[in-house]
Chain A
Amino acid sequence: AQSVTQLDSHVSVSEGTPVLLRCNYSSSYSPSLFWYVQHPNKGLQLLLKYTSAATLVKGINGFEAEFKKSETSFHLTKPSAHMSDAAEYFCVVSENAGGTSYGKLTFGQGTILTVHP
């Protein structure tokens, strides 16, 4: 079974300061991990994905995440927040048993990021 825990329901930062959104996962098999972003009244957009290649993954809009198997974590970071980053962020896990994806995504509860001027 797979699960995801996003450790903060809300994160508030000032524009230009670093962003850290925390995520821990649980998976019986080798997981794929994703971060999706959801802006108000818009669809979910993929930010980045980890699929057992490099543990440090770079995504769009300056975001990156590091897969740490020993800590079962996949935290999302950005060096400098922009006002347009304000949105809800979802950490997502997908199990890959036997090297093929079952396709089932399990979403975390979401973290709302607020960026102050």
Chain B
Amino acid sequence: EAGVAQSPRYKIIEKRQSVAFWCNPISGHATLYWYQQILGQGPKLLIQFQNNGVVDDSQLPKDRFSAERLKGVDSTLKIQPAKLEDSAVYLCASSHWGERDNEQFFGPGTRLTVL
């Protein structure tokens, strides 16, 4: 079974530029998550999709971050414009919906550096 795929693996941009990250979840997983992991901290949920609908985006900075999951499969997370404090690893995860133990499978992440 293929895992969660993410690209790019690394990205360096100047502040105020835009950037986009892509995620392809495990086949058949209805739920997709984006997390932000700042150095020295645990991952923090940004947004959760169930199929192509948003379940939870309460911690997404909506003035600069946006995400979509067209057709309920792949997802894109965008930052526009980027700030220095957005430097972090962005993790994508997926899971089956409705399983009580809710095991999430994580991709390798995209490391973003904002200069």
Contact = CB atoms under 8 A, between A and B. Distances in A.
Interface of A: 4, 32, 34, 36, 41-46, 49, 51, 90, 92, 94, 96, 99-101, 103-105, 107-110
B85 interface: no
Given A43-B108, A43-B109, A104 B103 contact: no
Contact of A96 (B3, B55, B100): B100
B48 A103 contact: yes
By DSSP majority rule, is chain B's interface helix, strand, loop, or mixed?
Answer: loop
Nearest to B100: A101
15 contacts: A34-B103, A41-B108, A43-B3, A46-B104, A51-B101, A90-B43, A96-B100, A99-B100, A101-B100, A101-B102, A103-B55, A103-B102, A105-B43, A107-B44, A109-B42
Given A32-B100, A109-B41, A104 B56 contact: yes
Contact of A105 (B100, B104, B105, B108): B104
Contact of A49 (B31, B97, B101, B106): B101
Measured as residues with beta carbon below 8 angstroms from the partner, the interface class of chain B is 20 to 34
Interface of B: 3-4, 31, 33, 40-45, 48, 55-56, 91, 93, 95, 97-109
B103 A103 contact: no
B22 to A, nearest CB: 15
Given A43-B108, A101-B102, A105-B43, 8 more contacts: A43-B3, A43-B91, A43-B106, A44-B106, A45-B106, A51-B100, A103-B102, A107-B44
B50 to A, nearest CB: 8
A110 B39 CA distance: 11
